Structure 1
Amino acid sequence: MRIIEKYTPGIIPEADQTDKISISVAVYNGEKYLNKCVDSLLAQTYKNIEVILVDDGSTDSCPAICDEYAQKDPRVKVVHKKNGGLASGRNAGIAAATGLYLGFMDGDDWVDPDMYMRLMAAIREHKADVAITRYRWVYEDRTEDPSTDKAYIMEDQEALEQYIHENDDIQIQNCAWNKLYSKEFLGDLRFDESKWYEDVIFTTKLISKAGKVVFLDHASHNYICDRSGSYMNQGISERIITDLIPIYKERTAYLRSIGRDDLADTHNYYFYKRLMIYYTQAYRGPDQRDIKRSKMNRIKAAIYSEKDHFNAAFSSNGANPNEKKKMDIFLFSPRIYLIVMAINDRFIIPYKVRRLRGHV
């Protein structure tokens, strides 16, 4: 992996913007945000774009807003379809795309004017298959942007390794909307419309086959999020148990199928950490007692079903020994594990935070 400490992609003159970028926007009942999203795309300094607004059966004013944009700007194309979910909408966007390159957006986010210029310039300058940008976290009361302006040039499966190791410095992430790549490179890869959390497998397969990936540590995308209150006390959705846990198992199987047992074990390590967190969230959540107990039992069953893989996962590269201790406590007694986590969250973590801030 090569790191460029301060990197600014070149500016592509409009006469040289010969490669059209098709940007597919997932639209569903987001009338409050849609104008800001589309306006930010139409304001791109890379002019040769096609904005595909995929209205996935919206019931608010989004369909009319989409049609108004198509009437005002010839670069806008609208696809109205029955509600089929995010994966279905993204596949519809791919099918409608006439550009050589593909990008994706969610209808409630927006991007900086130079985002696609930067991504396209990086692809051209480094002959990369995929270019990825960092994004900002936009909350109601603040915006977080840890950009460093570094560029990471990764070859072969270096990007896949950083992705599976969940390196915060290289924000590859599961999401579709911080990436740019050619339609030819995508090939026949599509989002699985039968599942939620479809980005996980899609991105894993995409990154695994890339010969070169450029990550720009400069935030150009603005991601709306809300973390009001403690997420540990908000419970977990049914979809995490029915869809996300199977998706993580599918990713493990895929990594083994391409000969990366090492990454499969590392992925399992993070998967098992999440399972313990899900168990705690289910316990602390607001569900009724019977529903809460059902969720806890199913997560516990998912944990026990993976016991044969624990040694490989918790001894994998980058694994924290403390996580193995937590799992050992859980296997001994889930009730004791919950008590330990309550003590950890109530006393140990706040102490560590005060210590880091120099208050202890």
Structure 2
Amino acid sequence: MELVSIIVPVYNVEKYLSECIESLINQTYKEIEIILIDDGSTDFSGKICDDYSKKDQRIKVIHKNNEGLSQTRNMGIEIAIGNYICFVDSDDIVSPRYCEILYNLLNDTNYDFSVCNTYRFIDGEKIELLNNKNLTTVISNRDYFSNQINKKTEFGVWNKLFKKQSLNNIRFKKNKLHEDVIFSADLFINLSNGVIITDSQLYYYRQRENSIVHSKSQKSCIDFIYAGRYLIKTSTDYCPELNKECLFYAINYPWSFVDNIYLQRSFFLNKNFLEDLQKLIKDYKKEYSSLVYIDKIKKNRIMLFGSSKFLYFFNVYLRLLRVYIYRILHIDPYKDGHGV
């Protein structure tokens, strides 16, 4: 049996961290090293890591200044000594057989990585462990990338086990959210030996309301434009037959932030995001308008948004909408730092 390195970036997750670590300690596959990287936490997360390292010699703890998820994962790859690597988010949990099943699928094969199903649950919801048939499928890297673009499977890296050698030339993009989208594109570019998949739900993904990406923060919106362009470039350079799918995903996903302008806190979308999205639509207006499987009304709205004059009026509309909402909520925008 070979060593599996489990990389766990940790940042201000004291509420969930013990549950995550316990699920790793209790793996049926025992040849593991658990690398807990404290990314400058300001709560008790670092202490929790240290306490567990005293109980289990398989746990390594690194404390560092805050740099973000990508840099932390990259550090984990450099530190890992196992021939296999997986990534677990510190507020999630995994099945006891997570490593065992993914390792057995990948060991003694030429495949680049193995993949399991993910069980998503809302924070506070009771988790029901599921009995799966453990059916396996083998597909090409191209088809797996296509499935990700078409939302048939996850972009996330946390439901996968990689051969370490497969990651020799691949790292996470620094200082970017949606880093898993870019990382997945790089996997497609660099790897070609196929992917083996099990239907077993071995990874339990906790959906928190205040998570960075889920909240549609301004940085999240802007960074997705970057990730979308990266997908389009990847398909153009390496797999032109996926151009339409990449274009659809790259434009429609960030457009949903604008389309839901009345919902949640979407009215705080900033000017940089709107300008970046408009430029993306302008750059690919001809190609996007040729897509036949998009609702015609929605396509027309997006094309209108891509016109040069529209953004000016849309920004005026946003300012008026903000003033209206602030008045309803009795908020002083300047006092609270939002501005109008």
**TM-score w.r.t. structure 1 length?**
0.75
* 1:25–1:54 Cα contact (<8 Å) kept: yes
CA contact (8 A) 2:228 2:251 kept: no
Other structure's SS at 2:204 match: strand
- In structure 2, relative to structure 1, the CA distance for the partners of 1:84 and 1:280 (3 Å cut) is same
Corresponding position of 1:109: 92
The secondary structure found in structure 2 opposite 1:80 is strand
Q: Following the alignment from structure 2 to structure 1, what is the Cα–Cα distance between the partners of residues 245 and 17?
A: 38
Alpha-carbon deviation of 1:285?
Answer: 4.2
Q: Structure 1 residues 314 and 191, CA, compared in 2 at 3 Å: closer, same or farther?
A: same
| Secondary structure of residue in 2 paired with 1:306 | helix
The equivalent of 1:85 in structure 2 is 68
After superposition, the C-alpha distances for 1:290-339 in whole angstroms (9 at most, x for unaligned) are x55x45x84366246424534534656xx6242x4411144347899x9x
**Please, which of 141, 164, 181 is the counterpart of residue 200 of structure 1?**
181
Q: Is the 8 A contact 1:236 1:282 kept in 2?
A: no
1:320 to 293, 303, 307: 293
Alignment partner, residue 202 of structure 2: 220
Give deviations 1:108-145, integer Å, cap 9, x for gaps. Answer: 11101001111011112654211011110112346587
CA positional deviation for 1:150: 3.4
RMSD: 2.9
Question: Is 1:276 aligned to 2:255, yes or no?
Answer: yes
Residue 255, structure 1, aligned to residue 235, structure 2: yes
Between the aligned partners of 1:65 and 1:235, the Cα distance in structure 2 is: 27
Which residue number corresponds to residue 73 of structure 1? 56
Distance 1:158 1:331, change over 3 A: closer
Identity percentage over the alignment? 29
| Partner residue in 2 for 1:11 | none
Question: CA–CA distance in 2 between the matches of 1:165 and 1:286?
Answer: 27
Within-5 A mapping of 1:122-201: 122-124=105-107, 126-139=109-122, 140-141=124-125, 149-167=134-152, 171=153, 173-201=154-182
Q: Which residue of 1 aligns with 2:323?
A: none
Q: Deviations over 1:174-205 (max 9, x none)?
A: 21211101111111311122322211111221
Q: Given residue 196 of structure 2, which amino acid in structure 1 is its aligned partner? A: V
Contact kept in structure 1, 2:222 and 2:273, CA below 8 Å: no
Shift of 1:158: 2.1
Q: Secondary structure at the match of 1:87?
A: helix
After superposition, the Cα gap between the structure-2 partners of 1:96 and 1:320, relative to the gap in structure 1 and judged at 3 Å, is: same
Q: Structure 2: how far apart are the matches of 1:187 and 1:159?
A: 20
Distance 2:41 2:209 in 1: 26
Secondary structure at 2:62 match in 1: strand
CA distance in 1, matches of 2:103, 2:288: 38
Q: Is it true that 1:302 corresponds to 2:277 in the alignment? A: yes
Find out whether 1:241 has 2:213 as its counterpart. Answer: no
Secondary structure at the counterpart of residue 114 of structure 2: strand
Question: Which structure 2 residue ranges, 5 or more long, are not aligned?
Answer: 318-340
Letter in 2 for 1:275: P
Q: How many aligned residue pairs are there?
A: 303
Quick check: 1:111–1:221 contact (8 Å CA) kept in 2? yes
* Post-superposition offset of 1:237: 1.6
Deviation (angstroms), 1:254: 2.3
